[in-house]
Amino acid sequence: MTTDTPQDRLSRAKEASRETARLTSDDKVRALESIARGLEENAETIIAANRRDVENGRAGGIGDSLIDRLTLDDGRIAALARAVRDIAVLPDPVGQVVGGHRMPNGVALEQVRVPFGVVGAIYEARPNVTVDIAALALRAGNAGVLRGGSAARESNTVLVQVMRDALERAGVTPEAIQTVDDFGRDGAKALMNGRGFVDVLVPRGSAALIETVVTESTVPVIETGAGNVHIVLDESAPDDWAREIVVNAKVQRPSVCNAVETVLVLRQAAPRLVPLVASALQSEGVAIHGDDMVAGLMSNIIPATDEDWATEYLGPEIAMKVVDDLDEALAHIRTYSTGHTESIITTDSRNAERFLAEVDSAVVMANASTRFTDGGEFGFGAEVGISTQKLHARGPMGLAELTSTKWLARGSGQTRG
């Protein structure tokens, strides 16, 4: 890396974004194919750099699950290249006409999708995010400025260099992909305060990281991620739906944000459903933090504290509580939900529709697993993250959410009367 400043990188990204905004869809496909090939051809170098990160990580005592997320091998690099090719074949959102009409005076108004310009990302120790975000940003005509976790520093440095070389081979300015990793905390600060240079900033990672980015940024931020996800078991919930959906939502992949964290069981259904669902969870190795009612209906229940209701376990643990009625379930969700995903299991359409209408979350479900809140499952082909804020994007974000719009007005001398 050169001896420039974080601000120099942002300026070069902004300058490059004018070029990427004008690339045709074909140009962008070629650039992404070049990146995919670059990843494959440089797999050895990438893995060698990654090995240094992993060794540093182990020496620093980071845990097994983090080491797992950090590690790249041949299979994962092949998967990364495949992901880039999958992004390349997604429809180009840029240039889509999303609205428009002719004004009474004859001026033709057209609202079209345009790239944001510069998309910033601040994330933690998963080097695949480096490639993912860069490819998504580029497909939507943006330049990307990346700030990954220090634990993946060596991997990210090589990945960014491989992508920049690949852009150059494809005839696209390499300045369209920048990292500010080498500036440490100053790199993150430059991104968060890059007004006029960073058009949108996406934090991806822990609740603490997201909170820091939201609080410290003066550039527009899309808040992603934290999921304290609830499933409500209504009086009318069928045994099989209750058991299968709760188990799927907790066990299929417990470490992700759309996994369920708290199950609320309506009192009338508790004697039937608590033993059924709790034993299914326990047989999958899930520890249950329950209130007194739950403990009275099932053995091996850890007494739940108020903290449990607020906890995103992200692992084989779950909270379970008996509530008097749907009102109490909705009030509990209002207090503790992070606004990501909630689901109700019921065959009573009044309760289903009330739940769908009143729960104020990005995705509200009836009779489906919360694990479906996912860009791939929603048919977007790729996912930038899951927005838990209400501005610009809510829920899984696809390529279109990495664009803005602008209005074009074509007249013939019109003035305002």
Q: Which residues contact a second copy by CB under 8 A?
A: 18, 21-22, 101, 103, 107, 109, 111, 114, 116-117, 195, 199-200, 214-215, 218, 220-222, 238, 240-241, 244-245, 247-249, 252, 343, 352, 356-358, 360-369, 371-373, 377-379, 389-392, 394-395, 404-416
| Rounded CA separation 291/323 (Å) | 10
Distance of closest approach, residue 405 Cβ to a second copy, in angstroms: 5
The nearest distance, CB 344 to a second copy, in angstroms, is 11
- Distant-in-sequence, close-in-space partners of 218: CB < 8 Å, separation ≥ 6: 192, 193, 195
Query: Any idea how long the chain is?
Result: 417
Sheet holding 229-233, edge to edge: 301-303, 287-290, 317-323, 260-266, 229-233, 341-345
CA distances from 251 to 73, 298, 312, 370 (A): 26, 20, 14, 11
Nearer to a second copy, 214 or 302 (CB): 214
| Closer by beta carbon to a second copy, 15 or else 33 | 15
Q: Are 281 and 288 in contact (CB under 8 A)?
A: yes
C-beta of residue 261 within 8 angstroms of C-beta of residue 316: no
Q: How far apart are CA 185 and CA 262, in angstroms?
A: 35
Query: Smallest gap, in angstroms, from Cβ of residue 244 to a second copy?
Result: 5
Residues 247, 157: Cα–Cα separation, whole Å: 40
Between residues 77 and 330, which has the closer beta carbon with respect to a second copy? 330
Residue 388 has phi, psi (to 5 degrees) of -110, 10
* Nearest-approach distance from CB 119 to a second copy, in angstroms: 10
Residue (34 or 351) nearer to a second copy, CB: 351
7 vs 71 by CB, closer to a second copy: 7
Nearer to a second copy, 119 or 167 (CB): 119
Query: In the complex, what is the shortest distance from the CB of residue 49 to a second copy, in angstroms, rounded to a whole number?
Result: 34
Task: Select 100 or 303, whichever has its Cβ closest to a second copy.
Answer: 100
Give the Cα separation of 224 and 179 in Å (integer): 21
Element containing residue 416 per DSSP (H, E): none
CB 107 within 8 A of CB 409: yes
Nearest distance, CB of residue 198 and a second copy, angstroms? 11
Taking alpha carbons only, the member of 255, 251, 237, 325 closest to residue 288 is 251
> Is 259 within 8 Å of 227 (Cβ atoms)?
yes
Residue 71 Cβ vs a second copy, minimum distance, rounded to whole Å: 25
Q: Which of 76, 57, 39 shows the shortest CA–CA distance to 154?
A: 57
Shortest approach of a second copy to residue 86 CB, angstroms? 17
Closest separation in Å from C-beta 374 to a second copy: 8
Name which of 191 and 245 has its Cβ closer to a second copy. Answer: 245
Closest separation in Å from C-beta 41 to a second copy: 34
How far is residue 72 from each of residues 44, 49, 125, 128, measured CA to CA in Å? 10, 10, 12, 8
- By the 8 A CB rule, do 344 and 269 touch? no
Nearer to a second copy, 47 or 202 (CB): 202
CB-wise, 293 or 330, nearer to a second copy? 330
Q: How far apart are the first and last CA of the chain?
A: 57
Tokens of 168: 């150059």
| CA 98 distance to own-chain centroid | 24
The CA distance from 414 to 263, in Å, is 61
